[in-house]
Amino acid sequence: MISIVVPTYNEEKNIERCLTALANQTVPREQMEIIVVDGNSKDRTREIVAEIADVVMIQTSEGVGGARNDGFKAAKYDIVATTDADCEPSKMWVESILKKFEKDNVVAVTGILKPFDWNNMNWLDILVYRGIFEAANLMLMILALFGQYHLCGANSAFRKHVFIDLGGYLPLAYADDVEIFKRIKKLGEVKLSGSMQINYSVRRIKKIGLMNYFYLILKMDTEIMILGRQPMKGSYARMNYD
């Protein structure tokens, strides 16, 4: 049994694709609880998700991490996964998550990202993006060998009771999914699953620009993991990407 939390904000163009993929996993639909936490969308998002999701709730906490926290609190199962509204989980995503949690000492699991959403992109750009994502996934696997993990908000799962006891995501402007690893690793094992795959929309990267995106990633990881800062200002969580 698993609960899945999906934060949304003006995602009428993407959310049905995400939820349909969740509803058609190798794990039976009745063993999953799909929770959508909406940040007061101004479009048809809530109308669309009402047809597929088990729970649709209005976000009350701050930021995308706060939306995930709201969903975790409402979840009825102890294994809770999280992804983004513009992502498309692979067919075996849920099955891969549950398999990792068969060991009682595992408290969190993360996976890999495959890029998609190639609208208005030429073949060379697509080739570059795919190469960069492959390199990033390889780096994640290497870091995992040394006990270091990035619990990407688009592709992670936790034991609910551990997540709640930990206090969930902190109300940071960004990189809350990087910061949470620093705390949760002290409470049990974290695992990386190569079969826990999410098709990850590149629209955010296209909007920001590839170089700017990786500068932001480097900046975030440096601030959180090395300098120990907790950034409270600045966010791209609610930019318009379309």
Residue 239, classified by CB atoms within 10 Å of its CB into exposed (0-12), middle (13-18) or buried (19+), is: exposed
Most confident of the ranges 17-21, 214-218, 227-231: 17-21
> Is 236 a residue whose pLDDT tops 60?
no
pLDDT tens-digit profile of 7-64?
999 999 999 999 999 999 999 999 999 999 999 999 999 999 999 999 999 999 988 9
pLDDT tens-digit profile of 59-114?
999 889 999 999 999 999 999 999 999 999 999 999 999 999 999 999 999 999 99
pLDDT at residue 227, rounded to an integer: 64
Query: CB atoms < 10 A from the CB of 218, how many?
Result: 10
Find the mean pLDDT for residues 221-232. 64
pLDDT at residue 110, rounded to an integer: 97
| Integer angstrom CA distances of residue 39 from 16, 58, 63, 213 | 17, 6, 9, 24
Find the mean pLDDT for residues 229-242. 50
The mean pLDDT value of the chain amounts to 89
Beta bridge partners of 198: 89, 113
> Is 166 a residue whose pLDDT tops 80?
yes
| Integer angstrom CA distances of residue 152 from 126, 177, 200 | 22, 6, 11
More confident residue, 143 or 88: 88
Q: Quick one: CA dihedral 157, 164, 239, 19, positive or negative?
A: positive
How far apart, in whole angstroms, are the C-alpha atoms of residue 95 and residue 92? 5
Task: Using pLDDT thresholds of 50, 70 and 90, give the confidence band for residue 225.
Answer: low
Among 142, 227, 225, which Cα is nearest to 185's? 225
> Among residues of the chain, what percentage have pLDDT more than 90?
66
How far apart, in whole angstroms, are the C-alpha atoms of residue 197 and residue 193? 8
Find the mean pLDDT for residues 159-178. 89
> Is 234 a residue whose pLDDT tops 60?
no
Find the mean pLDDT for residues 114-140. 88
pLDDT at residue 21, rounded to an integer: 98
Query: Domains in the chain and their CATH numbers?
Result: 2-201 (3.90.550.10)
How far apart, in whole angstroms, are the C-alpha atoms of residue 101 and residue 158? 9
More confident residue, 174 or 157: 157
pLDDT at residue 203, rounded to an integer: 84
Q: Give residue for tokens 């706060």.
A: 66
Among 234, 237, 151, which Cα is nearest to 192's? 151
pLDDT at residue 240, rounded to an integer: 46
pLDDT at residue 239, rounded to an integer: 46
